[in-house]
Amino acid sequence: MTRRDEIECWLTDMDGVLVHENHPIAGAAELLQQWRDEGKPYLVLTNNSIFTPRDLSARLRASGLEVPEEYIWTSALATAAFLKDQMPGGSAFVIGEAGITTALHEAGFIMTETAPDYVVIGETRNYSFEAITKAVRLIGAGSRFIVTNPDATGPSAEGPLPATGAIAAMITKATGKEPYVVGKPNPMMFRSAMNRIGAHSENTGMIGDRMDTDVVAGIEAGLHTILVMTGISDEAEIAKYPFRPDEIIDSVADLLSSAPIESEL
């Protein structure tokens, strides 16, 4: 098993690990600076496919964290990388926002409503019945069904919102077709991120706040997994699952070089 001091590259989730409700988590800025000082390749990951890396970089900067856009990896980028590998120069009908449409354009895809190779469902706050109907008919006619991430709900100040997974479930019910889901907990998300920075699983660490996405995908991708307690997980949540991360720590502050290394599980 990889020890923390043997890790040469890092992948980290964003919400619940580095930021919480647009406020930086204590130690996050220092950890990012530590990685830069040590020259360690890293990527900040998110299942959110609404925003481009440039948008997310600006949001993080407003929160007090400096993360250049080339250090951000989204489920939209992972989806575009996957589809480019599957069918270079392909076509897609997309339900989503700039995050996924920009990523697919940059991957060389054509956006079309006429017999597309793929129907791609991403995150948006403007799901339309007309677009969902079009997606159902195109999938029924043979287009392959792809979803950026499986999250059924997303947060808002007023409470949960239906998200990509919920819309995908509706399309599955209407078509009888299950989508291929690229984002976490599919380890494809981590593998594509590692490809982006030239990392190898045996010396890459993954930091997350969710057992059901971050940790399980990290385990399946062969990474050194670290769960932080600054997101949604608590001891009762951890106990629900038959697997364990390599380490459980209070927050990313425990990963600073001045912090003592906890005993691994």
Answer yes or no: 85 catalytic.
no
Q: Summarize pLDDT for 209-251 with one digit per residue, the tens.
A: 999 999 999 999 999 999 999 988 889 999 999 999 999 999 9
The predicted pLDDT at position 21 comes to: 81
Residue 85: C-alpha distances to residues 82, 149, 193, 220, 228 (Å): 5, 18, 14, 21, 33
Residue 116: the pLDDT is 98
Catalytic residue among 5, 15, 151, 214: 15
Picking from 212, 209, 198, 219, the residue whose alpha carbon sits closest to that of residue 8 is 198
Q: pLDDT of 65-115, one tens digit each? A: 999 999 999 999 999 999 999 999 999 999 999 999 999 999 999 999 999
Question: Distances from the Cα of 139 to the Cαs of 89, 143, 173, in angstroms?
Answer: 19, 5, 12
Is 15 tagged catalytic? Answer: yes
Q: What is the largest CA-CA distance in the chain?
A: 58
Q: Which of 13, 117, 151, 254 is catalytic?
A: 13
Statement: residue 179 has pLDDT above 70: yes
Checking if the pLDDT of 175 tops 80, the result is yes
The answer, yes or no, to whether residue 263 has pLDDT greater than 50, is no
